[in-house]
Amino acid sequence: MKNFLDNYIVMHLCKVEAGFPSPADNYIEEKLNIEEYLIKNKESTFLVKAAGESMLNVGIFPGDILVVDRSLEVKNQSIVIASINGDLTVKRISQKNKLGEIYLQSENIDYPDIKLNEESNIMIWGIVTHSIHHLT
């Protein structure tokens, strides 16, 4: 992993049109350090591999590598890695009503949300900041 993170990749600072390209765009090149782009706090960041389909509608697919930062504050609508009775899951933290009820929300209607309460044995491990997804 160290060799990968030390490599810089040339980044072309231009828009990539999904339709027809514009010949008038200015193309500026710079080097992009993948580690600096993906990781803001190295000491508190870790990677996990996604499994399952509960977060498909937010763009997290089975096999994706998730970048997780433990130093970030959990807020309403944060996507988090949580430990539920010792099992890790990725879900969205959601306050769904005015009663203050908090849920771990799936982003796929085929998977139920998990209501948190005082008896819940849940620990938040960190906030998902990026999902690395293969297109091939």
pLDDT tens digit sequence for 105-117: 999 999 999 998 8
Of residues 1 and 119, the one with the higher pLDDT is 119
Q: Where in the chain is the domain with CATH 2.10.109.10?
A: 40-136
CA angle 32, 38, 43 (to 5 degrees): 120
pLDDT at 6 over 60: no
Catalytic site residue from 42, 54, 94, 115: 54
The beta-strand segments (E) located in 21-86 are: 29-33, 45-49, 65-69, 79-84
pLDDT at position 1 is 43
* Residue 23 pLDDT level (bands cut at 50, 70, 90): low
Of residues 81 and 117, the one with the higher pLDDT is 81
Closest by CA to 93, choosing from 108, 110, 107, 75, is 75
pLDDT at position 61 is 96
Catalytic site residue from 91, 94, 106, 115: 91
pTM: 0.76
Q: Is 54 a catalytic residue?
A: yes
CATH tag, 40-136: 2.10.109.10
134 three-class SS? coil
Tokens of residue 120, six digits: 């819940």
pLDDT at position 136 is 77
pLDDT at 3 over 80: no
Rounded-to-integer distance, Cα 28 and Cα 92, Å: 37
Closest by CA to 126, choosing from 64, 2, 43, is 43
